[in-house]
Amino acid sequence: MDAASSPVVLVTGAAKRIGAAIARHLHANGYAIVLHYRGSEAEAVALRDALEAARSNSTLLLQADLADPDAPEALVARTIERFGRLDGLVNNASAFFPTPIGKTTPAQWQSLFDANVRAPFFLAQAAAPHLRASQGAIVNITDIYGERPLRVHSAYCMSKAALVMMTKSLALELAPDIRVNAVAPGAILWPERDSVDAARQAAIVARTPLARTGTPQDIAEAVHWLLASARFTTGEILHIDGGRLLDG
């Protein structure tokens, strides 16, 4: 598939972890990828170079802080300037940190809602005209904790709950031309910050019916299915959690 005919997907937070796995998987399946990153420049450049080595002129690397209100429109505009089309948006970039009641600051609240709610909404709004033209799709990366609480993370859980409702609301608003779905991971990768100790990791796995953690590839495959194959699916939250929500 040549660059001119490749479907184009913008993946936010694509430099590492789950975002990088999504970008690699979509690229391997013929997509041109717009790789957004905020601060992980070395990882983003390395990923861009690896994808370009596999297929030239198939990527665009864009740096932006999604807390900047102008970032969503700028990212979409630069995507269209480079590729002339947009077929998919993956809202993967996220903020995650504890917010104990009594110690949570307005700045922490704002940081979580900027990354997890405001940026995905305004990216979707900016992308919508182009996705409508391509009959494209949006996939939001939510969290099982958008549907059940996690202790000491109230603001995070609330922000992901808002993203769940955004998924359903935009699916209604943007139909029939644009499908909007979400992937809600369970235990895939442990947090880089505020590390989960070995005992808590073991307890989480013990409450997962499939008795293991998932992999970033599991999420990437789900995102690909929602973008490319789920032609009669919109407004759905696909739980990739090993059955963990079943155990409360």
What confidence score (pLDDT) does residue 193 get?
63
Q: Which of 65-69, 83-87, 195-199, 212-216 has the lowest mean pLDDT?
A: 195-199
Mean pLDDT for 181-190 is 88
Checking if the pLDDT of 3 tops 80, the result is no
Checking if the pLDDT of 97 tops 60, the result is yes
Q: How confident is the model at residue 4 (pLDDT cuts 50, 70, 90)?
A: low
Annotated domain spans of the chain = 8-241
Q: How confident is the model at residue 156 (pLDDT cuts 50, 70, 90)?
A: very high
Radius of gyration from C-alpha coordinates of the chain: 17
Share of the chain above pLDDT 90, in %: 83
What confidence score (pLDDT) does residue 207 get?
84
Residue 171 CB partners (closer than 8 Å, separation 6+): 179, 180, 181, 234, 235
Checking if the pLDDT of 54 tops 90, the result is yes
> What are the tens digits of pLDDT across the range 122-149?
999 999 999 999 999 999 999 999 999 9
Checking if the pLDDT of 181 tops 70, the result is yes
Checking if the pLDDT of 2 tops 80, the result is no
* Residues identified as active-site: 156
What confidence score (pLDDT) does residue 101 get?
96
Superfamily of domain 8-241: NAD(P)-binding Rossmann-like Domain (3.40.50.720)
Exposure string over 193-204, b if 16+ CB within 10 A, otherwise e:
eeeeeeeeeeeb
The pTM for the full model equals 0.95
Q: How confident is the model at residue 150 (pLDDT cuts 50, 70, 90)?
A: very high
